[in-house]
Amino acid sequence: MLLDVNSMARDEFVSELRGSLASAGENDALVFIHGYNVGFADAARRAAQIAFDLKFSGRTLLYSWASAGEPHKYTVDEATVEWSAPHFEAFLRLALTEIGARAVHVVAHSMGNRPLVRALERFDASTLPPGAATLRQIILAAPDVDSDTFRQLAAAFKGRAQGVTLYASSRDLALKVSKAVHGYRRAGDAGDALVIVDGVDTVDATKVDTSLLGLRHSYFGSKRSILSDIFHVITQGKAPDLRFDLEATPAGKYWLYRE
């Protein structure tokens, strides 16, 4: 439940977050970026549900770009999220350098992957001040990014986070809308369009839910959702070959959910 919303000046926000993180069970931060057709209230509840399902003991931050929150306004959302990219880059730098975190993880869904991959392309850890957090795990859930563009960006951001996992699906509803609008393959597509690039662990998650909804009940530990696998990525840093529900394809280039 979203009980209250308060505005804070930047310095007040940073100060309160530093204090909260210092008293947390784990000195890590998790940043969630929502996708297309998600208003602020739903995005806040979704971020909280993800943190609950992951049993994340650090502090969870929501980066909410101004989605119109209406399914027929895809192109409006598209323009807004592109405008928001430099603002997310500044927010990520804040999380890495000003709140006292040891490590920062980022989970993005659908269209929310666009500002994330742009920020990763320009990310340079050498410019961060001493004591800055490590950019630990990057989760790209059904990314609504042009697949060829993603391949170019992925080559640029290779090695800039400790781990990058891409969950692809042939059934993700937001991606179906995107393909209808663009006519081009998306980085989150599975099947023949599956994106496999060096430095990214690609998981074909068509058999499970990639929506990251989980608003009515917990999906932790359920094979119906990618959250069960994200748990092992973020909380334990496990590689795909050490995770419970995944198996390598015969070619060994990507991963599938077991039957």
One-letter-per-residue 3-state SS of the chain: CCCCCCCCCHHHHHHHHHHHHHCCCCCEEEEEECCCCCCHHHHHHHHHHHHHHCCCCCEEEEECCCCCCCCCCHHHHHHHHHHHHHHHHHHHHHHHHCCCCCEEEEEEEHHHHHHHHHHHHHCCHHHCCCCCCEEEEEEEECCCCEHHHHHHHHHHHCCCCCEEEEEECCCCHHHHHHHHHHCCCECCCCHHHCCCCCCCEEEECCCCECCCCCCCCCCCCCCCECHHHHHHHHHHCCCHHHCCCEEECCCCCCEEECC
- How much is the pLDDT for 213? 61
Give residue limits of the domains in the chain: 15-257
- How much is the pLDDT for 21? 97
- How much is the pLDDT for 216? 39
- How much is the pLDDT for 151? 96
Q: Could you report the per-residue pLDDT of 9-59, keeping only the tens digit for each?
A: 999 999 999 999 999 988 999 999 999 999 999 999 999 999 998 999 999
Cβ proximity of 16 and 8 under 8 Å: yes
The C-alpha atoms of residue 137 and residue 17 are separated, in whole angstroms, by: 21
Q: What is the spatial order of strands in the sheet that 28-33 belongs to?
A: 59-63, 28-33, 103-109, 134-141, 163-168, 201-204, 255-257, 246-248
What residue ranges of the chain have pLDDT lower than 70? Answer: 213-223, 259
CATH 3.40.50.1820 for domain 15-257, yes or no, is: yes
